[in-house]
């Protein structure tokens, strides 16, 4: 089946620093990828839609200058949390649609990245 990887799986950083998270589709091409964040015992919250070769589309309330998204190729999207603060500590998950999937509902999710800001 289709596989999506994320790197790193967990990261600890100091307040004020920036952290980059990579999301890769390993065996398929993804024109579109999605970034979610999830707090403990909560559901996934969609942050933004990452489009290959164009600007990301952010959901309402998500600071685009704080969460920089780059989708440079059909298999890689990156999320950079800039000037991280403790309240940015969360579980970040990416997902991707196989561009051959047509109208299929199915998305493939990465294993997630646990970010802890101290």
Partner 1 sequence: LAKTTQPISMDSYEGQEVNITCSHNNIATNDYITWYQQFPSQGPRFIIQGYKTKVTNEVASLFIPADRKSSTLSLPRVSLSDTAVYYCLVGDTLQIYNQGGKLIFGQGTELSVKP
**Binding interface with partner 1 (CB under 8 A):** 4, 32, 34, 36, 43-46, 49, 51, 57, 91, 93-95, 97, 102-112, 114
Q: Which residues pair with 34 in a beta bridge?
A: 49, 95
How far, in Å, CA of 29 to CA of 22, rounded? 15
Q: Is residue 32 within 8 Å of residue 52, measured between CB atoms?
A: yes
How far, in Å, CA of 108 to CA of 114, rounded? 18
Rounded to a whole number of angstroms, the minimum distance from the CB of residue 59 to partner 1 is: 8
Query: Would you say 44 or 76 has its CB closer to partner 1?
Result: 44
Rounded to a whole number of angstroms, the minimum distance from the CB of residue 34 to partner 1 is: 6
Rounded to a whole number of angstroms, the minimum distance from the CB of residue 16 to partner 1 is: 26
Rg (CA), the chain: 14
Query: Would you say 5 or 82 has its CB closer to partner 1?
Result: 5
Query: Would you say 40 or 86 has its CB closer to partner 1?
Result: 40
């Amino acid at each position: 089946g289709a596989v999506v990887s994320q790197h790193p799986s967990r990261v600890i950083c100091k307040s004020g620093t920036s952290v980059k998270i990579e999301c890769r589709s390993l065996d398929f091409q993804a024109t579109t990828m999605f970034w979610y964040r999830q707090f403990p015992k909560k559901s996934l919250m969609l942050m933004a839609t990452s489009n290959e070769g164009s600007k990301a589309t952010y959901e309402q309330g998500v600071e685009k200058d704080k969460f920089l998204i780059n989708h440079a190729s059909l298999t890689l999207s990156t999320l950079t949390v800039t000037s991280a603060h403790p309240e940015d500590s969360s579980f970040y998950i990416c997902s991707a649609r196989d561009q051959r999937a047509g109208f299929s509902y199915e998305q493939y999710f990465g294993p997630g990245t646990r970010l802890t800001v101290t």
